[in-house]
Structure 1
Amino acid sequence: MTVVEPKLTLERRLLREHALVIACDEVGRGALAGPVAVGAAVVDAPRSRKRVPQGLRDSKLIPEARRDDVAARAAMWVAASSVGWASSIEIDEIGIMRALGLATLRAIADLRTQGVVPEEAIIVLDGNYDYITPAGGRGLLVRPVIKADRDCASASAASVIAKVARDHLMVGLHDEHPAYGWSSNKGYASPDHRAAIREHGISRHHRASWSIADAPTLF
C-alpha cells in the first residue's frame, strides 16, 4: 500500500487569502466508550514555509509506538494546538454529530486563550460535512475537505495530537474498569471489549446508546 505523505499545498493556497489556517480532525467517533476528541492545529505563513515533521501522517497510519513522538514534534511545528472534548454522556444526550461540533468549538475556544483569533482564519475540517456551524460556530469560516487528515499536513497534525491525547485518557481509565481492556482497545469495539460488555454490562464511561442493547448498566 502506498502511503500518502501530507503536504502544505492547500494551506499555502489558503494563506494567500487568510491570516491563519486552523485544521480540525476528530478521533473516537466510532468508539463504544470514552469521549470524542477533536484536535485543532494552527498554521500561519511562517509555519507553512517550514518542512513538515518527519513521519507525520493521518494518525491511523502512524504505528502506535511512534505516535507520541510524532505528536510532540507536530505540536512544536504548528503555531498553536488544542484538543476539545465531548463526553460519552453528551454523546448520548445530543448525538454524535452535535457532540463533534461541541468538541470542536471547545478546541477553538482553547485556541482563543492562546491568542488565536478564529475569525481571522479559515477552518479546514476533515470530512464532507460542516458540523461546526450548526453547533454554534456562526461567524467562523469552515471548509470541509475530504481526506484532509491524509493530504493536508495541518490536519494530520490535528489528527495525531488528538489521537495521542484520547489514547492516554483511555489508558488512564483502564485501571478503573480493567475488564474492558481499554489500555489496548482504547474504547473501540474490539471482540474482547464487546465480550466484556456482554459479561459485565456497561460502565459510566460507555455510550449507552451505542453499546450492546441487552447489556445491563453498571454505575
Structure 2
Amino acid sequence: MAVVEPTLEVETQLHAEGARFVIGCDEVGRGAIAGPVAVGLCVVDLSVGPLPVGLRDSKLLAEKKRELLAPLAASWALHSAVGLASAQEVDRVGIIAALGLAGKRALTMLHEAGARVSDSVVLLDGSHDWLTPALASPLAVRTRVKADRDCGSVAAASVVAKVHRDTLMIAHHGDRPAYGWASNKGYGSAGHYAAINELGATELHRHTWLHAAEPADARPDVGLLQHG
C-alpha cells in the first residue's frame, strides 16, 4: 500500500476562507498507562516553505527518523509547542479533560512566544473537539479524521509531540529501568505489566487505568501501541 504524503491543501483552503494562521494539533500518549499525555502544535501561514522531506504522521515513521525530523518540523513551522498533562492529572480529571489541559498549555506557550493564536484556526486530528471545553476564550477549531496523515501542519505537530514525549520517557527509564520505558514509552507491553505486577505502580503510572486494564490486554509488539 502506498504511503500517503501529507500536503498543505487543507491549510491553504483554511487560509482562503480567512484564517491568517493555521495551528496543526495532534496528541500523543493517549493510550499509555504511564507518563503524561502530550499535545503538539505547529503554526503555519502562507509563507511557510515546502514540507520537510520525509515528513509523515509519527505513527508511520521509525523512531530514528522521527528524531531526525522533529527539529526540522519545529524549525519549518512559524512556531511550535508541546503541552503536557501528567499521569496524576489523567487520574484526577480523565483523559479527555487532560488532553484539553495539555492543549491549553501548548497554546499558552505559543502565545508567550509571540504567535497570534486568536487569529488562527486550529486543525485538530480526529473527529472529537476535546480542546474547546478547556479554553476560556474559544478558538476556531476544525476537526479532521486522519489529519495527522494528510495535513502537513498536523503531521509536523505529531512528530514534534511524539519525540518530546518519548524523550521524557527515556529519561525516566534511567531512574526506573525495570519498567522498560526506553522501549515501551509507557505503553502497556507485556514486560511493562510484568514489572508492575512484581514491583508495583509508580507515581508516573495512571493508576485508574491500571485498575481497569488487564495484563492480558498487553501486546508483545509495543510498536503498535505507542501512538494512540
Residues 95-174 of structure 1 mapped to structure 2, 5 A cutoff: 95-174=94-173
**Aligned partner of 2:12: which letter?**
R
Q: Distance in 2 between matches of 1:150 and 1:214?
A: 29
Q: Distance in 1 between matches of 2:137 and 2:147?
A: 22
Q: Distance in 2 between matches of 1:51 and 1:135?
A: 33
Q: Distance in 2 between matches of 1:213 and 1:46?
A: 47
Gaps of 5+ in 1: none
1:175 counterpart residue number? 174
2:41 counterpart residue number? 40
Match of 1:39, SS state, is strand
Contact 1:105 1:137 in 2 (8 A): no
Contact 1:7 1:153 in 2 (8 A): yes
2:11 counterpart residue number? 11
Q: Distance in 1 between matches of 2:171 and 2:92?
A: 24
Contact 1:194 1:212 in 2 (8 A): no
Query: Would you say 1:77 and 2:81 are equivalent positions?
Result: no
Q: CA deviation at 1:214?
A: 9.8
What do the CA deviations read for 1:114-149 (whole angstroms, capped 9, x no partner)? 111211000001010111111125331111111000
Report the identity percentage: 52
Q: Distance in 1 between matches of 2:93 and 2:183?
A: 28
Q: Distance in 2 between matches of 1:159 and 1:31?
A: 16
Q: Distance in 2 between matches of 1:15 and 1:29?
A: 30
Q: Distance in 2 between matches of 1:98 and 1:148?
A: 21
Q: Distance in 2 between matches of 1:176 and 1:137?
A: 38
Q: Distance in 2 between matches of 1:139 and 1:214?
A: 34
Gaps of 5+ in 2: 215-228
Q: Which runs of 4+ in 1 moved over 4 A?
A: 212-215
Match of 2:123, SS state, is strand
**Aligned partner of 2:124: which letter?**
L
Q: 1:97 to 1:213 in 2, by over 3 A?
A: closer
What do the CA deviations read for 1:32-63 (whole angstroms, capped 9, x no partner)? 0000000000001101xx21111100001111
**Aligned partner of 2:20: which letter?**
A
Q: Distance in 2 between matches of 1:213 and 1:74?
A: 37
Contact 1:26 1:39 in 2 (8 A): yes
Match of 1:210, SS state, is helix
What do the CA deviations read for 1:179-201 (whole angstroms, capped 9, x no partner)? 10001100001111111111111
Q: Distance in 2 between matches of 1:53 and 1:200?
A: 43
Q: TM-score, normalised by structure 2?
A: 0.91
1:51 counterpart residue number? 50
Q: 1:151 to 1:137 in 2, by over 3 A?
A: farther
Q: TM-score, normalised by structure 1?
A: 0.94
Q: CA deviation at 1:213?
A: 5.8
Q: Distance in 2 between matches of 1:139 and 1:67?
A: 32
Contact 1:112 1:118 in 2 (8 A): yes
Q: 1:143 to 1:214 in 2, by over 3 A?
A: closer
The aligned length equals 213
Q: Distance in 1 between matches of 2:89 and 2:67?
A: 28
Q: Let me know the Cα RMSD of the aligned residues.
A: 1.4
